[in-house]
Structure 1
Amino acid sequence: MKLELKKYVLELKHTFTISRESHDTQDTLIACLSLEGHTGFGESTSNPYYKVTFESMKAEIEAIRTDIENFDLQDPSEFHLFLKEKGLSNFSICALDLAAHDLFGKLKGKPLYEIWGTSSEKYPITNFTIGLDSVEKMVEKMKEQAWPIYKIKLGTNDDLKIVQELRKHTNSVFRVDANCAWEPEKAIELCRELKRLGVEFIEQPLHADNWEGMKLLKKEAVLPLIADESCIVEEDVEKCAGYFDGINIKLTKCGGLTPALRVIKKAKELGLKVMVGCMTESTVGISAIAQLLPQLDYVDMDGAMLLKGDIAEGVQILPDATVIFPQKNGSGVKLL
């Protein structure tokens, strides 16, 4: 295989703020794997919370470039195992794993969801994320993008006020993501009020390792609780089962589609709802997420919708939230 790594700086339509950080641009690494006239594309964005940069990913991938290019790609899962054995971080593995899956599908002449034995006819609707800002700005962002489901980022002293104000302007479903910002007592209190305001579930209310707090919250919460920062890799799924009602899988954090498929299976066995979320990826990463749609209960794949300009074409999300799968194989991705 031929390997090529590309850096893009994705510009966001609005400053994106969550409880712990803000940014106007998003660095992303695009991995390109080529074989027999086909090229597969994968993506991993940088992330300060996990101390991952484009430069750190590129350095560790370049260190094993020769081994990657000499690998005989017969099965993406075998390639994933090879990358794990080489000691790469999950973010770097994700970019390569997504590229390998896209390439594999193109070589086989089928989209990934078809290779996995699923149909694209039925799928959950993605939410659209409203990042933290002044209440007025958050209302403005919501009005700018009419959508059936909004994910609202919280983590301030005015969280309830924010949701109350947003509710005045729409009847859409709300989901709330606190990104680890609350304490158990606050979360219990907010749950009751948020349920009255039409919130569907709460994502990662407490700090990722506050298991005692989650035990208390799980007993008292009147809304479903979805793990994000508490569920990073495959080994975390079983632990989350006693504290959460579902999990949010991030391909970058778990290491790509290969482990995500296993995580989905395990979560369902444990009775957990399954969501896949994005990390402000371009259409490269979003198209990979979309291949999993038929297997999911919820999805957050609005990353490319938050950008001023995209770098690729692939899966499209229409203004009515309909997903259009391209008439192409693999993930259906092509760089612009």
Structure 2
Amino acid sequence: MYLKTHAYNLELKNTFRISHTSRDFQPTLIVELSDGKYTGYGEAAATSYYGVTVEGMAKKILSLENVILENLHKSPEALWEITAPFLKDNSFAQCALDIAMHDLHGKRNNLPLYKMWGLSLENIPLSNYTIGIDTAEKMVQKIQEFPWPLYKIKLGTDHDVELVKELRKHTDAIFRVDANAAWTAAQAIENSVLLKDLGVEFLEQPLPAKDEKGMAEVYEKSVLPVIADESCITEADVDKCARYFHGINIKLTKCGGLTPARRMIARGRALGLKIMVGCMTESTVGISAIGHLLPLLDYVDMDGGMLIKNDIAHGVKVYDGKTHFPDRNGTGVELYENLKLSL
């Protein structure tokens, strides 16, 4: 049995800009977990916005090596509960470990995860492709370079509606808009009317997470559905979001992995919320974990593998307007052997 961590710096195809940051590379951590016969892989992307580094995640996970290996025979859910007290302040590290454990568990039970959960791949949602903030010309260029039926448009400028109008001239694709908390309530309500006429499906996180009063107004007056992202981090947020949003976007890294994400999905459904899972520009390792949740979702943002130049693994891939699942167990992930860099 062993536990290893690997560090990668994923190069993006284009500079990725949202309302509060931009980047050309995405540092990410891969956790490799073996019981001696089967090996599972998990991932969490680092982010300065949440103060998460690859080195910090790796150090925390490796400090729990004895605890993890002593309980490797248990279920992913059981290991999550055992390690949660140690990782309660590091959900990203918990996510990478939990995904690795799920992958290992599926492989040693000779089943893909979705089959272990009693799910089928019929009528699964297609991932959107994200267009980061840029000049109108460059955003149009990105659409022309990657024709796709469904785009998420990142906004948060002083000319957001004009940008969407220009993009609409060049494609009939469905648009989703993500303001990343950059608007006021008045802007969100006004923009919802204008954007609905431009073929926008919903608004994601229009206001800062702390502005619950503003979101109550937007929830009442917006002519488009509103989906929570920054407002829905952990399981405790789901009930609160039901008061101000029509749906929630769950990020595996933010909530701590597949184990809590599945509980959040179940609770969201019980509250009548639409369910989305999003990515943090992970490689195919993290994207493959999201892929097995597809039968449970209304919407999905799993375009990480499409946004990077140097993917690091085989697994669930999105291309040609479809999601392709490998004929392998667990999450279906195998690392490209020549790229392993240990921490």
Query: Is the contact between residue 91 and residue 253 of structure 2 (CA under 8 Å) also seen in structure 1?
Result: yes
Matches of 1:35 and 1:58, distance apart in 2: 19
How high is the TM-score relative to the length of structure 1?
Answer: 0.98
Alignment of 1:1-336 (within 5 A): 1-88=1-88, 89-319=90-320, 321-336=321-336
* 3-state DSSP of counterpart to 1:175: strand
Query: Is the contact between residue 6 and residue 29 of structure 1 (CA under 8 Å) also seen in structure 2?
Result: yes
Matches of 1:143 and 1:114, distance apart in 2: 37
Matches of 1:226 and 1:30, distance apart in 2: 29
Deviation at 1:289, TM superposition (A): 0.1
* 3-state DSSP of counterpart to 1:206: coil
Deviation at 1:122, TM superposition (A): 2.1
Q: Deviations over 1:238-262 (max 9, x none)?
A: 0000100000000000000000110
Matches of 1:113 and 1:283, distance apart in 2: 17
Q: Deviations over 1:26-76 (max 9, x none)?
A: 000000000132110000000111111111111211222222222233210
* 3-state DSSP of counterpart to 1:86: helix
AA matched with 2:66: T
Matches of 1:282 and 1:191, distance apart in 2: 33
* 3-state DSSP of counterpart to 2:175: strand
* 3-state DSSP of counterpart to 2:87: coil
RMSD: 0.8
- Give every structure 1 segment of 4 or more consecutive aligned residues whose post-TM-superposition deviation is greater than 3 Å: none
Q: Deviations over 1:132-184 (max 9, x none)?
A: 01110000001110000000000000101100000000000000000000000
* 3-state DSSP of counterpart to 1:200: strand
Matches of 1:87 and 1:76, distance apart in 2: 15
* 3-state DSSP of counterpart to 1:22: strand
**Unaligned residue ranges in structure 2 (runs of 5+):** 337-343
* 3-state DSSP of counterpart to 1:274: strand
How high is the TM-score relative to the length of structure 2?
Answer: 0.96
Deviation at 1:95, TM superposition (A): 0.2
Count of residue correspondences: 335
Q: Percent identity?
A: 55
